[in-house]
Amino acid sequence: MSELARLPGWLWWLLAIGIMVLVGLIVVFAFWPRSSAPMIDSSEGLRIHPLYLGPSNAYLIETEQGLILVDAGLPGYSDAILRKLRQLGRDDLRLIYITHAHVDHYGSAAAIQRATGAPIAVHEADVENMETGATELGTVRDWEWLSRTLLPWVQPALKVEPTAPDVVLREGDRLDKYGLAATVVHTPGHTPGSTTLITDGGVAVVGDLISGAGGPHAQRSYADDWVELAESLQRVQQQAPDVVFAGHGRTSIYGAAFAALSPYLPGEVTPEP
Ligand SMILES: [Zn+2]
Ligand SMILES: [Zn+2]
């Protein structure tokens, strides 16, 4: 019999309650929205405001002509995004640009649209999933099979809102009419309709093409098509952006670090059931 087994019952209860409170605090801390100081790109006169919305990131790109929101976080984060707009003293959100149809990127888009009237944009190949409130994870690597297994249970709890886009994006589209000198680059692989927004001054917002969580790395968890994903990463690397913002991980990634990333190729992939 170990010493532990001789602990009195009330102490076990105290320990259990302590652990539950700790886990609760960690979850609240992880999901609490935060924003950080703007990353200023003086050559273009842009201000990029990262919004850390729990597990995923969104970005407000501010120009004199207006603002573009890139991605919108999980459902329930619209207040945090609207609060940031109020802090900036701006009411001219001109576009809600969704990098791909995963709920951690479009979840609050419909609510933001109701509050601001801004149109929602997504690539044509991801329209159907967003319109039906779906999230297709494709094939997964390593332990990510767990999130695919849990997703059907998590999704109803999140109350995912079917989100119909107003603007259907295609390769090479320009965003000038929304006040931003930038091009849409179709970067399929993570999802069929994943896109990267690249400004003329060399700022790229890449969604889940790469991740900054735990250090910059190519997408290694989920892909609709791993070969396409590798090709998409190489295409954006060839454009040599100066700074890259990803959908996860609270960091910006500078050109040299981005150029050095290697794609994950098929192999060790858990097939779809
Ligand atoms: Zn994703
Ligand atoms: Zn994501």
User: Which residues are within 5 Å of ligand 1 (an ion), measured at CB?
Assistant: 102, 208
The residue extents of the domains of the chain are: 1-31, 33-270
Å from CA of 252 to ligand 2 middle: 16
pTM over 0.85: yes
What pLDDT is stored for residue 48 in this prediction?
Answer: 93
Fold of 33-270: Metallo-beta-lactamase; Chain A (3.60.15)
pLDDT in tens, 62-106: 999 999 999 999 999 999 999 999 999 999 999 999 999 999 999
Å from CA of 56 to ligand 1 middle: 9
User: Which residues are within 5 Å of ligand 2 (an ion), measured at CB?
Assistant: 104, 208, 247
d(CA 203, CA 247): 14
Task: Quickly count: other Cβ atoms within 10 Å of residue 120's Cβ.
Answer: 21
Å from CA of 258 to ligand 2 middle: 18
Q: What is the mean pLDDT of each run of 10 residues along the chain (273 residues)?
A: 72 90 83 70 80 93 95 95 94 97 96 97 97 83 68 76 96 96 97 96 95 89 90 96 92 88 72 50
235-242: long-range contacts at Cβ-Cβ below 8 A with a sequence spacing of 24 or more?
A: 235/185, 235/187, 236/185, 236/187, 236/196, 236/198, 236/204, 236/206, 236/209, 237/261, 239/185, 239/198, 239/204, 240/202, 241/198, 241/202, 241/203, 241/204, 242/201, 242/202, 242/203
Å from CA of 138 to ligand 1 middle: 10
Å from CA of 208 to ligand 1 middle: 5
- CA dist 217 → 58, 240, 261, 262 (Å): 18, 16, 6, 8
Å from CA of 52 to ligand 1 middle: 15
What pLDDT is stored for residue 122 in this prediction?
Answer: 98
d(CA 218, CA 194): 14
Å from CA of 12 to ligand 1 middle: 41
